[in-house]
Amino acid sequence: MAAAAIFVICCTLFAWLTETTVQLDAARLAAPLLPVAPPDRTAIPVLYLDPDNVVMWTLMVAICAMVLLDAVGQWIDDTDREPVRTGRRRVWPFITAAALLAATWPALITLPLLLTAVTTASAVLATVGARHAAGRHRPAIGFFAGWATALASSALAEMSVQLLSLPQIAVPAVAILPAAALGMAAQMWIGTSIGYSVALIWAFCGLAISTMGTDPMIALVAIIGISAMAAVLIRAAS
């Protein structure tokens, strides 16, 4: 429960205290008449941790609420105890490690290499935890794993831009397609718990809305990612 609280506090403080520079559509339309200085490019992971639209904000709120509710539920009725888990591996070591690593994401936002490594580790741990939590009525773990996967892919795209000089036109593909490809495989491995796919689809929608004014290509790639995850979600649900 402490790990969940630390994660929620760190993410909430970062989202609440960080100001993201956004250029309004009206300012861009008026550019021929009123010159507007273009804003600095916002790092893609920041769009997840410091939301700038309703979709991203509701995703952040949902993540924090589900992680806290899952922790409280386990404190009241622990499903990791032996009579309930029936010999299956414990879930708490994976989700605890994933949440503690996730609490460090805001501090690593300016260090793309470390951020990529830590978000990837969190996503892997949470996905393994979601696999072991299947059938135990713990949708929050899969939901958290899907969100972590989306953020890991966006961190990879940011690292590619800053350290590998990836062309800007290729950023949308790196930010979304790896998460969609891995997400499809992960959802099939996790099983019938659809929280993982729901979180990824939600994240792709939010990313498309955040960037469609400055990079329409991301919206196009997001549609591909959403379609792929929706197909896997339907199959898992059935």
Taking only the tens place, the pLDDT of each residue in 19-66 is: 654 443 333 334 444 444 444 556 788 888 988 889 999 999 999 999
Tell me the CA distances in angstroms from 237 to 79, 195, 226, one per residue in order. 23, 10, 16
**Listed range (33-42, 106-115, 176-185, 195-204) with the worst mean pLDDT:** 33-42
Task: Give the pTM.
Answer: 0.83
Which span out of 122-131, 133-142, 202-211 was modeled with the highest average pLDDT?
122-131
Half-sphere CA count of 172, side-chain side, radius 13 A: 20
The torsion defined by the Cα of 61, 74, 121 and 11, in degrees rounded to 10, comes to 30
User: With bands split at pLDDT 50, 70 and 90, how would you rate the model's confidence at 87?
Assistant: low
CB atoms within 10 A of CB 180: 23
Which pair of tokens denotes residue 154? 């966006």
Close Cβ partners of 104 (under 8 Å, ≥ 6 residues apart): 10, 118
Contact between 148 and 80 under an 8 Å Cβ cutoff? The reply is: no
Question: What angle is formed at CA 228 by the lines to CA 227 and CA 231, rounded to 5 degrees?
Answer: 85
Residue 100 has pLDDT above 50, yes or no: yes
